Structures are given as structure tokens and as C-alpha cells.
Amino acid sequence: MNENGLGARPLEALIDLSGQQALVTGGGKGIGQAVAARFVEAGATVTIADLDPDAASTAAELGAAFAHCDITDPDDVSAALDVAGAAGGGPDGTIDILVNNAGIYPTTGSMLEATDEFVARMLDVNVRAQFSTAREAAKRMPDGGCIINMASIAAIGGGAKISAYSASKAAVVALTRAFANELGPRGIRVNAIAPGVIDTPGVRAETAELLASGLDIDAVIAANPLRTAGDPDHIARAALFLASELACFVNGHLLVVDGGSRA
């Protein structure tokens, strides 16, 4: 048993998020929705921030609060954090957990044809906005907390026709490690998850054209050593681990959840 006594605590206490206030960006569907659902199940007070106003009904079904939010808009981010800080009924506006999940999808076409405007948009949403959201969340964690950034296996291995996306997610990994070093002394753990190909509405939409031309998307999604399709809940379970006291000594880590596709 270590000095802080965690070794004596029962397992259920280590995954209990009761009393914690969490903000999940892009929580209206796919991975974000699955993360929000697991956090609610673990006892957290959850706020879903999403650009899609229809996500409000998803939040209500989960028992979560909702904030309409474009993460590239600083005022929207501040307002979403206000909602999350007040969701648990506390007066101080602090939060405990941020899941930096919102982002845009990878299809860029050939790098020879990608425009500067497209690359700038990809970096603005997937890097600059994640940076500023993490920064503002950290300001509201005076007693420590947890930030989970959503990266991708594209940050590790790249890939044809996803050059701008790969660059943006590699930057997320670098930011995660830098944040972990800077915020660790304040008791804020910062980690990232690198999902493999996950069966989400966004992935289906991105591959619709290829699907129409005969691509076996189910085979692509399950193209990993486990031969199992990646499910949003696979990522949600990883996020729950990182947010919980099971991961109390995990900081600056990139957790790859891809069925072994990059093994």
C-alpha cells in the first residue's frame, strides 16, 4: 500500500466519479456520447458541449446538462465551462474533468490538392481550439483535475490523404505531453487517447462515397488483429480509466485503443 492509502481502497471506489463535474466536448454522438454515458454511469455530473443543437436531447436522455458550443469560439467555450461548473449545484464554477473530444474528420484528399485554407481550418479546430479549451478548463481546476485529449492513431503512423489530420493529431499528442509537465505540479493530470478506426456516424459519413463504390466498410473497420469493429464504448472505457483514480499515477500518456492495428 502506498503512502496516500489508495491501495486500501476498494475497486468500486477507484472508478467512482461521484461529486465530480465533467465537460465533454463533441458529446452529442459517437465517441463523445459514449464517454458522457460512461461518466454519468460512474456518478459524475456531466455537461455535453456540442455545435449541434439536437445534442440537447441526447444530453437530456443521458441525464447530462447541455451547452451549445463551437469550440473555436472563446465565448462559447467559456459559456460551456460556466454550465459545467454550475451543473453540480456548486457556486464556484470549478470543474474536475475535461474531455477534449470535439474535432473535425480526416478526409483531406491528396496533399497536392489540399488548400492552405483547409489546412488552417483543420489546425484551428483540432489544435488551437483544443489548446484554448484545455487552458480555460485548467483555470477552473484549482484543486487538481483531469484533462483527456482525443488524438488518433493517425498521429502515430500518418496515412495517405489524411496529411493535415495526421499533423493536427500529432500536435495534440505533443500538447498533451507539454500540458502534463506544466499542469502536473498543480495536480492536473493530462493524457490523450488515440482511437483506431471506430464505427461512428462520422466515420460512416466520411466513407459514404467509397462505400457507394463497393468498399467493404465493415471489413475496414474490423481490420485489426482482434478482427473486432472498434466501438465508441471501447474509447469511453479508456476515458473512464484515465479519469478515475485507477489512473492516479498516469500523466502525459498516449493510450492507444485500436485493437492492435498499430502493433
What are the residue numbers of the active site? 165
Q: Which domains does the chain have, with CATH numbers?
A: 11-197+230-255 (3.40.50.720)
pLDDT of residue 227: 83
What is the spatial distance between Cα 104 and Cα 70, in angstroms, rounded to a whole number? 12
At residue 105, the pLDDT reads 81
Q: Stretch 171-183: mean pLDDT, rounded?
A: 98
Q: What is the pLDDT of residue 14?
A: 94
pLDDT of residue 184: 98
Distance CA 151, CA 253 (A): 11
Looking at every residue in the chain, the average pLDDT score rounds to 90
Share of the chain above pLDDT 90, in %: 71
